[in-house]
Amino acid sequence: MNRTDAQDRVLALREAIRHHDHRYYVLDAPEVSDAQYDALMRELVELEEAHPELVVEDSPTQRVAGAPSEQFAKVVHSRPMLSLQNVVDAEEIAEFDTRVQKTAGQGAVDYVCEPKMDGLAVELLYENGVFTRGATRGNGEVGEDVTPNLRTIKSLPLRLTGKAPERLTVRGEVFLKKADFERINAERQAAGEPLFVNPRNSAAGTLRMLDPRVTARRPLSIFLYEIGEWSGQPGFSSHWEKLQALADLGLPLNPKNTRARGLEAVQEIYDGLLAERHALPYEIDGLVVKVDAEDLRLRLGQVSKSPRWAVAYKFPPEEMATRVEKIDVNVGRTGALTPVAFLEPVKVGGVVVSRATLHNEDELRRKDVREGDWVFVRRAGDVIPEVVAPIPSRRTGTEVPWVFPTECPVCHAPAKRDEEGVVIRCTNALGCPAQLHAQLVHFASRGGMDIEGLGEELVGQLVRRKLVQEPADLYRLTDTQLLSLERMGTRSVENLLAAIDRSRTPALRRFLHALGIRHVGETTARQLADHFRGLPALFEAGLEDFQGVRDVGPVLATALHDFFQSERNRARIEALLAEGVAPVPPEERAGGPFEGKTVVITGTLERFTRDEAKAEVERRGGKVSGSVSKKTDWLVAGEAAGSKLKKAQELGVAILDEASFLKTLGIEPESGGEEDG
């Protein structure tokens, strides 16, 4: 790129970044995701590095972004509140580590790793141990005085414990827990107010309320992570020592903070935190990696407004902005019509997303998503991508409000709201091809009958050819019928017929889950199997019998009773039994070593998948948890066990390797295993 082109691009990038800064920090109404903003900033940094003559003092790269609101008194920070440079992959964090090692003149360096909270940065002032003032970061030099609002945070001490310095400034992050965010949005919806896009947006809006009484009704939280000033200069030698000093004063720190020696340990902590991020009660978007030694920090110094001794190791983005090309409905196995947004493809969380759910008609209306809209799309963990919210400021007037259909788009039967008044369903339960297709895919799924090779495309052919019109028809298929289908050769047909035959003796819990009973997932199916132990008891059960099952309430009990009393459902089950399908009841529990125990499973096991190992523990009366705590009885550690193993060791939790795990299960390592009933 020549100088003229570079200059034009730099000017355009600066204007775009300033616009998004104003939307994000001042208006609390972002138009792009964090990842897209980061990409703009990275491009600008690279261009200015390549063309240093284009750098000007008011470039976004020369200051921390954001400007104090005119609604609050201004606070000048005694020391600038720096922003962190982002690194986005293993290669970039390795480059950071290499630079640190070079300055240190040694090998492995000690780091402090802290979850990167998705909230609002603040600085607190304590004088003689008493909280006297709090301000937002603002532009890094000047922030907004939000003292009355900060006082409403119950976890923030108004008076420090222990021996406090005469003057202390401490930095931290104000955030809103996920559960509180959901509650606030529910209240705003009921009041007809616009919804917050995410917890960070909500926390920022709450902290900057002019009336602290409103703030007090929204339970903000705070974690502290850095000292600005400490009068008397106690001479801390490490960052970890500073954190311990803050904890001794009664200030809230993130319990996930940990130390790491060297790059490999940092990467292990990052991987572990990434794996458990959705189990945390608050939003995080990465790992902050800080050099621990204070003398090394001084030698590393800073560049522009960012320290050289710390970076934000960002997680893959899970929320991105893209455009809605059209909206359509998908017909599910229970006839539910689910609106789906077809999107301009965008990479979210490492996966290219071109479709996202809009849940139901009410949700579609509440969010006011239109064809042609720019929207935020989220993909958290393994859940189906969803449209979070539209971006009204990017509307041009050509966007079209979408009208929910009054009939099934596949069979054209009337579509009506169900008895719960939330979901609109196709009324043609017996004859709708779309419902049958979804039912068969669910029936054959891994959590159901586990018929390997019977996927979406093949089921579609079977339904279109009318070779399968109910689940029992799968067991009547012939090789001649299957060979007539597209891309089905002799070997494929043999494998499929063998898989179908193997599925004739499923565990009862799998069979119940495969039936596709409304509200019944794998856990409820297991509880039903454990309670009734066979189909005859389920057929004879009354409403009170179902209510006696663990975790089954009145609504689910009614759905179960109606299902097993339905002549149509009974006929479908009897047809399966007539084709040789024989569900295996669960084995009686013998009060073994797992009874009443809490178990965490981590790493890779050779014998079982994670779900299979969980099932083995649960069928023996144990409970499987996703995180290690003092309440954990055993940790099952497979290959490449990460941060959970380390935490278990720190807490003194008993650890089982795979061989010990199998022995405790009563399974010989060299055997073929036992049926998971």
Q: What is the DSSP string of 342-370?
A: EEEEEEETTEEEEEEE--SHHHHHHHT-E
Residue 60 identity (one-letter amino acid): P
Q: Which of 74, 102, 116, 367 is catalytic?
A: 116
* Burial of residue 7, with CB atoms counted within 10 A of its CB: 0-12 exposed, 13-18 middle, 19 or more buried: middle
User: Residue 37 pLDDT more than 70?
Assistant: yes
**Six-digit token string for 315:** 């997680």
Query: What CA–CA distances, in Å, run from 231 to 165, 183, 235, 248, 563?
Result: 6, 41, 11, 17, 71
3-state secondary structure 473-493: HHHHCCHHHHHCCCCCCHHHH
- The answer to whether residues 153 and 122 touch, using CB atoms and an 8 Å cutoff, is no
What's residue 672's pLDDT?
36
Residue 227 identity (one-letter amino acid): I
What's residue 131's pLDDT?
93
User: Residue 513 pLDDT more than 80?
Assistant: yes
pLDDT tens-digit profile of 391-440?
999 999 999 999 999 999 999 999 999 877 789 999 998 889 999 999 99
For this structure, is 116 an active site residue? yes
Burial 210-244 (b: 16+ CB within 10 A, else e): eebeebbebbbbbbbbbbbbbeeeeeeebbbebbe
pLDDT band at 328; cut points 50, 70, 90 = very high
Task: Report d(CA 677, CA 663) in Å as an integer.
Answer: 18
pLDDT tens-digit profile of 149-172?
898 888 899 989 888 999 999 999
Task: Report d(CA 124, CA 129) in Å as an integer.
Answer: 11
**Six-digit token string for 395:** 């509307």
- Number of residues that this document lists for the chain: 677
Dihedral pair phi/psi, residue 311, rounded to 5°: -140, 160
Dihedral pair phi/psi, residue 508, rounded to 5°: -55, -40
Query: What CA–CA distances, in Å, run from 59 to 28, 139, 621?
Result: 22, 13, 62
More confident residue, 557 or 606: 557
User: Residue 669 pLDDT more than 60?
Assistant: no
- The answer to whether residues 376 and 389 touch, using CB atoms and an 8 Å cutoff, is yes
* Mean per-residue pLDDT, 577-584: 96
**Six-digit token string for 668:** 């010989």
3-class state of residue 139 by DSSP: coil
3-class state of residue 405 by DSSP: coil
Task: Report d(CA 48, CA 59) in Å as an integer.
Answer: 10
More confident residue, 427 or 20: 427
Which residue shows structure tokens 């903003």? 37
Where does 51-112 have alpha helices with state H?
90-104
Segment of 191-200, 379-388, 644-653 carrying the highest mean pLDDT? 644-653
**Domains, the chain:** 3-62 (1.10.287.610), 74-314 (3.30.470.30), 319-417 (2.40.50.140), 433-502 (1.10.150.20), 508-578 (1.10.150.20), 598-665 (3.40.50.10190)
Dihedral pair phi/psi, residue 167, rounded to 5°: -140, 130
Task: Report d(CA 18, CA 557) in Å as an integer.
Answer: 56
Measured CA angle at 319 (ends 318, 323), to 5 deg: 135
In percent, how much of the chain has pLDDT > 90?
60
What's residue 381's pLDDT?
57
Rounded mean pLDDT of the chain? 89
